[in-house]
Amino acid sequence: MSIQQRTQYALILGMLAALGPLCTDFYLPALPDITAHLQVATSVTQLTLTASLVGLGLGQLVFGPLSDRMGRKVPLLASLVIFILASIGCAMATRMPDLIVARFIQGLAGAGGAVLSRAIARDCYAGPELTQFFALLMAINGVAPIAAPVLGGLQLALTGWQGLFITLALVGIAMLVVVFTQLAESYPPQRRQKQQGNMAASFIAVMRERRFMGLCLVQGFMLAGLFAYIGASSYVFQSHWQLTPQQYSYLFALNGVGLIVFSLGTVKLSGRWGEKPVLVGALVLSVIAAVILLLCGVVGAPLSVIVPVLFVAVSINSAVCTLAGAMAMQAQGQHSGTASAFLGTLMFIMGGVSAPLTGIGGTSFISMGVVLGGSYLLALLSYVLIARKA
């Protein structure tokens, strides 16, 4: 594959992987408006985030194994068509139950881009190249958390929250055209013919690998912490610190920059010191940052102290997830689509569960810090007790 083809694939796969963050981040500034417009409780509106995250997880159970048998391109095109229709459904929703269902289907369809971008990368790369490509995917993917809330906040003032979902439908249409015209099939028929058994057998095969499972749990718990921040931060910073939707989007974008910087820095550090030591160091740093963040909330630290600590606590997530995801996929070849599906399903379901936990007893900075810190600690324990011993 030439450098030009490699760059083209990185951009396309990065945009496909970004469909997940777009589902979750683009409409975040509108959560308070949706709550008021549909006249529901804050915790009920947060279920729209949970629904999309669960959909993003469960959808990978369909598109991943299916791509091991049909190839990557056809399931990917189907997922984009469903994504477009679901986004239009979100914009047309007039009741909260309708919006929650549409968000679930939107997440289910968005899972196609998430799982198949990893599977296609595994088809084309292995070893250190795969780690570098994962980091590049996460860097490109990191543009979504930066741009999405900012653009969402700007559009919110012009079109209302329904217009945000129309924009997502237009993004889906653009991606459908790009994939159809520019993305070649990466999983040829001769490789598909080697696939034997049913989906259950494929999942059992990957689940038997202790190291793979341990690294899946590491990434899953880390993203559970990240989604606790995503789900609660809009309420915490706009209510407690009285930030406007636009100011909040800038804060969210700052942490998105950190995700990119830490992801790219991870590649250089792992090339010098090795993947394992860097992963362990990043896990330890994540727990330390989360503990400090929680203490800041307990003592009532000012926003000027909260912001830099939060920056580290959020940004370190990409370092851990880049390495854990690449190391988990490196051992997968024949069942790469299934392995990618399991990896993605676990992390999005765990993220979907963690988001509403911050709203129990009322969403606050403390509740956000407790869920984030607890998730990071469980990620460290998953590596020490499961992955490291494999």
- Both structure tokens of 75: 């399931």
pLDDT value at position 332?
62
| Alpha-carbon gap, residue 8 to 329, rounded angstroms | 22
CATH of 3-184+199-387 given 1.20.120.1080, 3.40.50.2300, 1.20.1250.20, 3.40.50.280: 1.20.1250.20
pLDDT value at position 359?
78
In order along the chain (390 residues), what is the average pLDDT of each group of 10 residues? Answer: 68 82 82 86 82 83 82 90 95 92 93 84 74 71 69 86 93 93 78 58 76 90 90 84 83 84 85 89 96 93 93 93 84 69 78 79 86 95 86
Q: Are 278 and 323 in contact (CB under 8 A)?
A: yes
pLDDT value at position 307?
94
pLDDT value at position 330?
75
Helix and strand counts by DSSP (H, E) for the chain: 16, 0
Give whole-number Cα distances, 36 to 26, 31, 365, in Å.
18, 9, 22
The length of the chain, given as a count of residues? 390
Residues ≥6 apart with Cβ < 8 Å to 278: 266, 269, 270, 319, 323
Give whole-number Cα distances, 23 to 26, 78, 254, in Å.
6, 17, 19
Q: Are 373 and 287 in contact (CB under 8 A)?
A: yes
pLDDT value at position 308?
95
Each domain of the chain, given as residue ranges in start order, spans: 3-184+199-387
pLDDT value at position 3?
63
| Alpha-carbon gap, residue 11 to 25, rounded angstroms | 20
What single-letter DSSP state applies at residue 185?
Answer: P
